[in-house]
Amino acid sequence: MNLLPKYDVIVVGAGHAGCEAAAAAANMGSKTLLITMDMNKIAQMSCNPAMGGVAKGQIVREIDALGGYSGIISDLSMIQFRMLNQSKGPAMWSPRAQCDRIVFSIGWRDYLESLPNLDFWQDAVTELAIENKTVVGVKTAWGIDFSAKTVILTNGTFLNGLMHVGQTKIEGGRVSEPPIKALSEQIQSYGFRLGRMKTGTPMRIDGRTVDFSQLTEQKGDENIQAFSFMHENESLPFLKQRSCYICETSETVHSKLSEGLKSSPLYDGTIQSIGPRYCPSIETKLQTFPDKNSHQLFVEPEGESTIEYYLNGFSSSLPWENQLAALRKIKGFENARIFRPGYAIEYDFFDPTQLKSTLETKIIENLFFAGQINGTTGYEEAGAQGLMAGINAHLKINEKPAFTLNRDQAYIGVLIDDLITKGVDEPYRMFTSRAEFRILLRQDNADVRLTELSHKIGLASDERMKRLKNKIDLRDHFIQFASDFSCKPEYINDSLEKLNTSPLQQKTKLRKIIMRPQVHIEALRGVIEPLENEIQSHSISNEIIQAAEILIKYEGYINRERLLAEKLTRLENIPIENLNYEKIQSLSTEGRQKLIKIQPKTIAQASRISGVSPSDISVLLVYLGR
């Protein structure tokens, strides 16, 4: 009886990782099943209602360039946009959007429902079907067996999830949602190393009870830039835009919070798991930085019209009474009511060094992990892994070469390489400082870096390629124009003076002028008529002008970075195959142990393993005959 088809790919979990994984596999042509415990919680923003930010915004752009949906959905649901770090170099410009949490979820569901290759099933996966160390399907809480060629686990915080508010503990993956038990134990029984992590979320506040006049308003940018390369900036926004607000804690707030410390699960030893250092709970901030008598908090709207607000920076697992009492000591919140307190959650993750660069596990064939199950945090990090797992599951079934990205190609490459090479000792979040070549990994060129690669493997659409080609053509055309066109001093010196840059002595190429840090093409358009004509006649968009300007202005940095990256690539190209590290006597003891554990595929990967020293690398190079 074949009531149920055999799937190519089963994705377990419909969070940010699961959705991208299912969409990618289905779009590439795999018969895909997405299993989620709750069809109404697809792509839930469990923590703050925002996408992007420094380094994360770059990841969203990369996901989009590869043909994922996170960027498109972010555009549809944004209620505030800001390009962060605009005073820094272009590698730091980072798009960030507040999103309507419900529109985000519905938007994702609409997109997924439009995919003919994708089926849905509402249920909990409780067990994997494994034969000969190969996964062949899943078993659900209803006792249904689904068979599949590959399975992608994106369980988020649900594996043995345990939530804490003060001394109260509730089992679950999110508030009011039950945990998944036994699955971790089954996976562990195959020899996987498992750990526990902790994360937290702040209280949600009733906006009707907040005196916003006491807070500092933070508006979004006038010029909204789309996350998706498929959207025109001018077509945004789709929703009404809203402001965020800034407020501050004080010593009175801190003393209220301190009263709860004795009942804090973080400090009485109840919670042993590792939390993220960069996203500490408010009580951790008090403990770690006792000298600081004020911490900044951000009040973020949860949607286009809702009164619900998210209090960013106030994550806590103190007893709810202490949280609320402290909140009411914050200026503007004297009469505040809340929808729910902040809480901490502990959950299982699997040491990601047990994964291949495709996110397939080394121990069980055809089983892929993506998202928080790998010890990461963040919607963007999860989405990126889901996308890569979905792509590689499809490629594996079709016996095509794996699709991986290098550290100089994408933040996604940095992310996955870090995970599988270094492992994690706290929830892993992306930072620009993790990338050696961040000048290459800009948000403006994610499409140039990645779209063609994705098109080749059959994910990025022809329409995407067409838009990319058009962008590159116009960009190069513009750069050529700037290289050929000479400006006369008399036309431009007045303007240059206004921009606080030295006047020209003689006719000078436009390109040279654009290279000056103070000069922006936008400011020259009104002054140099042929420039404006050129832009108009070819209808070159602002986005393309900006791309050209970045390439001209930062050419020196970009080129040097490229050279360094190529140097590294040479090491990436030295493969390590079947080295018996036990036998190599010159290796340091720690280096040998780490190499045995990680089994790096290239010399460059080996060099990134902590504990493997430069002299260990010399030894390996020598052994490989270099």
Taking the least distance from each CB to another protein, the nearer of 214 and 615 is 615
Cα–Cα distance, 383 to 14 (Å, whole number): 11
Count of residues near another protein by CB under 8 A: 54
* 446 in contact with another protein (CB under 8 A): no
| Packing angle of the helix pair 379-397, 70-77 (nearest 10 deg) | 140
- What is the pattern of x (binds another protein, CB under 8 A) and - over residues 451-470? --------------------
Distance of closest approach, residue 308 Cβ to another protein, in angstroms: 18
Burial annotation 566-578 (CB, 10 A radius, 16+ → b, else e): eebeebbeeebee
* 44 in contact with another protein (CB under 8 A): no
* 26 in contact with another protein (CB under 8 A): no
Q: How many other β-carbons are positioned within 10 Å of the β-carbon of residue 290?
A: 10
Distance of closest approach, residue 89 Cβ to another protein, in angstroms: 4
Q: Quote the longest CA-to-CA distance of the chain.
A: 86
* 624 in contact with another protein (CB under 8 A): yes
Burial annotation 476-500 (CB, 10 A radius, 16+ → b, else e): eebbebbeebebeeeebeebbeeee
- Label the pairing between strands 338-340 and 7-12: unpaired
Distance of closest approach, residue 407 Cβ to another protein, in angstroms: 10
Distance of closest approach, residue 463 Cβ to another protein, in angstroms: 33
* 54 in contact with another protein (CB under 8 A): yes
Taking the least distance from each CB to another protein, the nearer of 67 and 378 is 378
* 85 in contact with another protein (CB under 8 A): yes
φ, ψ of residue 548 to 5 degrees: the values are -65, -45
Q: Where are the alpha helices (DSSP H) in 431-461?
A: 446-456
Cα–Cα distance, 503 to 361 (Å, whole number): 61
Distance of closest approach, residue 224 Cβ to another protein, in angstroms: 18
Q: Which two tokens stand for residue 326?
A: 């402290």
The C-alpha torsion from 311 through 314 and 319 to 322, rounded to 10°, is -90
* 500 in contact with another protein (CB under 8 A): no
Which region holds residue 20: left if phi is over 0, alpha if psi is between -120 and 50, else beta? alpha
- What is the pattern of x (binds another protein, CB under 8 A) and - over residues 555-584? --x---x--x------------------x-
For residue 237, whether the previous peptide bond is cis, meaning omega lies within 30 degrees of 0, is: yes
Taking the least distance from each CB to another protein, the nearer of 123 and 351 is 351
C-alpha angle 14-94-429 in degrees, rounded to nearest 5: 50
* 84 in contact with another protein (CB under 8 A): yes
Cα–Cα distance, 69 to 253 (Å, whole number): 41
Residue of the chain from 136, 439, 603, 606 that contacts another protein (CB under 8 A):
439
Taking the least distance from each CB to another protein, the nearer of 219 and 469 is 219
Select the span of 87-95, 134-142, 336-344, 590-598 touching another protein (CB under 8 A).
87-95
Handedness of CA 51, 55, 57, 63 (dihedral sign): negative
Q: How many other β-carbons are positioned within 10 Å of the β-carbon of residue 337?
A: 14
- What is the pattern of x (binds another protein, CB under 8 A) and - over residues 312-351? xx--------------------------------------
Q: Is 262 exposed, middle or buried (0-12, 13-18, 19+ CB in 10 A)?
A: exposed
Taking the least distance from each CB to another protein, the nearer of 434 and 455 is 434
Q: If you write DSSP's letter for every residue of 359-416 in order, what string do you get?
A: SBBSSSBTEEE-GGGGTB-SHHHHHHHHHHHHHHHHHHHTTPPP----TTT-HHHHHH
Residue of the chain from 108, 245, 298, 333 that contacts another protein (CB under 8 A):
298
* 91 in contact with another protein (CB under 8 A): yes
Taking the least distance from each CB to another protein, the nearer of 269 and 614 is 614
Taking the least distance from each CB to another protein, the nearer of 432 and 445 is 432
Residue of the chain from 422, 471, 475, 592 that contacts another protein (CB under 8 A):
422
Taking the least distance from each CB to another protein, the nearer of 318 and 474 is 318
Neighbouring-strand partners of residue 274: 197
Residues 255-294 that bind another protein (CB under 8 A): 276-280, 285, 288-289, 292
Select the span of 51-59, 140-148, 356-364, 478-486 touching another protein (CB under 8 A).
51-59
Q: Which residues form the interface with another protein (CB under 8 A)?
A: 48, 53-55, 84-85, 87-89, 91-92, 276-280, 285, 288-289, 292, 295-298, 312-313, 422, 431-436, 438-439, 517, 554, 557, 561, 564, 583, 585-586, 607, 610, 613-615, 618-619, 622-625
